[in-house]
Amino acid sequence: MDDRLHKTYFPDDNIKNESHVRSMEQYKEMYERSISDPEGFWKDIAQQFYFKSQPQGKFLDFNFDVNNGPIYIKWMQGAVTNICFNSLDRHVQQGNGEKVAFYWEGNYPGDAGQISYAELLRKVCKFANVLKANGVKKGDRVAIYMPMIVELSVALLACARIGAMHSIVFAGFSAESLAERMQDGEVSILVTADGSWRGTKLVNLKEISDKAMEICAGKGQQITTCLVAKHLSATEETPVRNGTVVNDGGDCIDEATSEPGVRPCQHLKVNWTEGRDIWWHTAMASASEDCECEWMDVEDPLFMLYTSGSTGKPKGVLHTTGGYMLYAATTFKYVFDYQQHDIYWCTADVGWITGHTYVCYGPLLNGSTSVIFEGTPFYPDAGRLWQVVEKYKVSKFYTAPTAIRSLMKYGDSYVTKYDRSSLKVLGTVGEPINPEAWVWYHDVIGEGRCSIVDTFWQTETGGHTVTSLPGCTPMKPGSASFPFFGIKPTILDENCKPVEVGQEGYLVFSQPWPGIMRTVYGDHQRYETTYFKKFPGYYCTGDGAKLDEDGYIWVTGRIDDMVNVSGHLLSTAEIESALIEHQSVAEAAVVSHPHEIKGECTYCFITLCEGLEFTDALVSELKAAVRSKIGPFAQPDVMQNAPGLPKTRSGKIMRRVLRKIARGDKDVGDISTMADESVVELLFSLRPDC
Ligand code: PRX
């Protein structure tokens, strides 16, 4: 057994000494106050922000219990503010206008730019005026479907400035998904771009947008305005594309003819609907730079963001202005131990909640300098992330376990050839991280000197809820560790009773925190049913977790990814972790599978490290590894060779597709969000007889 996977790691003195929270005693003291006196705790934090008028009456008012009437949560009632003002104007007024807000790094090395707080504010004001000129008012919804470019942040902040709700749809979603979200959100304006390169793949965003708008029209919904940022070529408004251009003009040349690292084309021909479509740069050219903020009640909606629901229909998670602002800013400050001189980089796309809170709002509210990255970790090669870390001297870095695991496969040399001495804090988010990936992140990427923050949270929570803090938490690989300020976790069994140490149960929170979602757009009942009905008095995360004897929380994955084998509740994530510990395994995904005798059994898809063969001997070894790690009852029943796994473009494994493959059911459902659909056929062809 590899001891490194199971030991406890302590923060390095260099990190501890500059940290906001330097000891567990200090953490506990602050935490206790946040739970026993949430009003006082958050009132103090609110002092750092600008409010046009201060809270009056109850600072916190809520009902968390479905049996006591409708669920509601209100923080700082009566206060009036604007999150865009707090993210930009405040810093400019304090004399920090020249500080870099974002370094933009394009898909192609060499495509780069930067924007200061003052310049960002100027662009946001102009774009806010463009939106207003196109009829957008407070309370309207604006759909945004854009690549990772500065204009995406400009669009988001401009909405916030004028009190319109942004509904950002990840630019990897299909036309149908975009249309479904635009319909549900009742939007009439869409902001997009001509297109974007991701690695060697061209994403024709305008074409997809056109299709989505057509679908909406077919259902009687008119998108009256489509603003289009011209990203694939330089304009007056987008002068920062400095990359090598081999084909200046005309349509895009075939991606296959492009050399790695060289941008293949500059122009993308787009279809144009006069009267609806407007170029971003044309509209911006005549827009005024003055735009007074719309002063918002703190409980006015800020944005909605769709997340998948168990019924298949995505839910429009709605966050409001004031509470989200406090929570985004505070989690960013403490969890990344933000310092003025930091260069921070979160690799998430702004189309996901991680990008909303930790690419845009959290960093900007703290006045930080961050990197926005358009590309992928594998282009031009598997060293790209570390090349960017070296280039900007990134000190705080935040990514997903899936990226770490994928990069591990390529070996250490892609990492070690770049200077990573600037790194201090390394974060992970999105899924449980297996200890092996954690240790590689810690030992190889962080050279053993960085703190790792494993941050558990959700679209619904607005910000981190269970996480280590860099300067004080002793780290156990694979555990998100302790609750953030204001979060009161409990782990319950089916009967709403707290489970014993070591037992798995439902992770729930029994107190509201400022960043919690307030409703599902247009469907408050669904909000109550999904999150509050199962355990009255608690917010139910839908995730499984257990506590260890030191009080650490180990999130084991979605409860719906649980398997009940012969009456034993098993976490697929836990089995995966055991499999991944085997040196031959690069990645593993485990799903539940019907079993005549046991009820359910586990079916494991195994991706081996490059060059290895999937043999019977190896299968026996893997089964033995799970047996010895978890227990004989957990021994997997089926092992399948999986040279690839079906993943969304953001890297999440699509387990529902795996369940179908395991069952030999060719009706795999909607796979439009899958990064590489060919993997499905491959996996069907490799199914073992079972
Ligand atoms: O299952 C948990 C997992 O991701 C889910 C939330 O997904 P989403 O709303 O898309 O937001 C992702 C980014 C916050 C959770 O219910 N999850 C997220 N972070 C972790 C995690 N599981 C284990 N450990 C984490 N650190």
Per-residue pLDDT of 187-221, as tens digits, reads 999 999 999 888 887 888 999 999 999 999 999 99
**Does residue 454 carry a pLDDT above 90?**
yes
pLDDT given for residue 264 in this prediction: 59
Ligand 1 neighbourhood includes 431 CB (under 6 angstroms):
yes
Ligand 1 neighbourhood includes 457 CB (under 6 angstroms):
yes
pLDDT given for residue 599 in this prediction: 59
Q: Using the mean position of ligand 1's atoms as its centre, give its distance from the Cα of residue 264 in Å.
A: 36
Reported as a pLDDT band with limits 50, 70 and 90, residue 672 is confident
Q: What pLDDT, in 10s, does the model give residues 220-240?
A: 999 999 999 988 865 544 433
pTM tops 0.95: no
pLDDT given for residue 240 in this prediction: 39
Reported as a pLDDT band with limits 50, 70 and 90, residue 74 is very high
Report the Cα 276 to chain-centroid distance in Å: 32
CATH of 123-294, one of 1.10.150.130, 3.10.20.440, 3.40.50.980, 3.40.50.1980: 3.40.50.980
pLDDT given for residue 419 in this prediction: 98
Q: Indicate the top mutation candidate among 349, 358, 429, 479 to test ligand 1's pocket, ranked by most ligand atoms within 8 A of CB.
A: 429
Of residues 307 and 507, more confidence is placed in 507
What is the token pair recorded at 564?
């009940």
> Secondary structure of the chain: what % helix, strand, coil (to 5)?
35, 25, 45
CB burial of 536-560 (b: ≥16 within 10 Å; e: otherwise) equals: eebbbbbbbbbbeeeebbbbbbbbe
CATH of 565-686, one of 3.40.50.880, 3.90.550.10, 3.40.50.2300, 3.30.300.30: 3.30.300.30
pLDDT given for residue 561 in this prediction: 63
pLDDT given for residue 117 in this prediction: 98
pLDDT given for residue 197 in this prediction: 84
Of residues 238 and 345, more confidence is placed in 345
User: How do the domains of the chain map onto residue ranges?
Assistant: 123-294, 565-686
Q: Using the mean position of ligand 1's atoms as its centre, give its distance from the Cα of residue 68 in Å.
A: 29
Q: Whose CA is nearest to atom 15 of ligand 1?
A: 458
Reported as a pLDDT band with limits 50, 70 and 90, residue 46 is very high
Mean pLDDT, all residues of the chain: 91
Rounded to whole angstroms, how far apart are CA atoms 577 and 77? 45
Q: Using the mean position of ligand 1's atoms as its centre, give its distance from the Cα of residue 650 in Å.
A: 13
pLDDT given for residue 241 in this prediction: 45
pLDDT given for residue 1 in this prediction: 66
**Does residue 257 carry a pLDDT above 50?**
no
Q: Using the mean position of ligand 1's atoms as its centre, give its distance from the Cα of residue 545 in Å.
A: 12
pLDDT given for residue 690 in this prediction: 62
pLDDT given for residue 434 in this prediction: 86
pLDDT given for residue 409 in this prediction: 87
pLDDT given for residue 270 in this prediction: 86
**Does residue 520 carry a pLDDT above 80?**
yes
**Does residue 254 carry a pLDDT above 60?**
no
**Does residue 504 carry a pLDDT above 70?**
yes
**Does residue 451 carry a pLDDT above 60?**
yes
Of 30, 3, 1, residue with least CA distance to 473: 30
Reported as a pLDDT band with limits 50, 70 and 90, residue 626 is confident
pLDDT given for residue 563 in this prediction: 73
Of residues 317 and 110, more confidence is placed in 317
**Does residue 398 carry a pLDDT above 80?**
yes
Phi, psi of 185 (to 5 degrees): -85, 0
Q: Indicate the top mutation candidate among 308, 456, 475 to test ligand 1's pocket, ranked by most ligand atoms within 8 A of CB.
A: 456
Contacts for 25 with CB less than 8 Å, ≥ 6 apart: none
Task: Tell me how far CA of residue 423 lies from CA of 125, 415, 447, 468, 480, in angstroms.
Answer: 34, 13, 9, 17, 20
Reported as a pLDDT band with limits 50, 70 and 90, residue 649 is confident
> Given the DSSP bridges, would you call strands 72-75 and 396-399 parallel, antiparallel or unpaired?
unpaired
pLDDT given for residue 670 in this prediction: 84
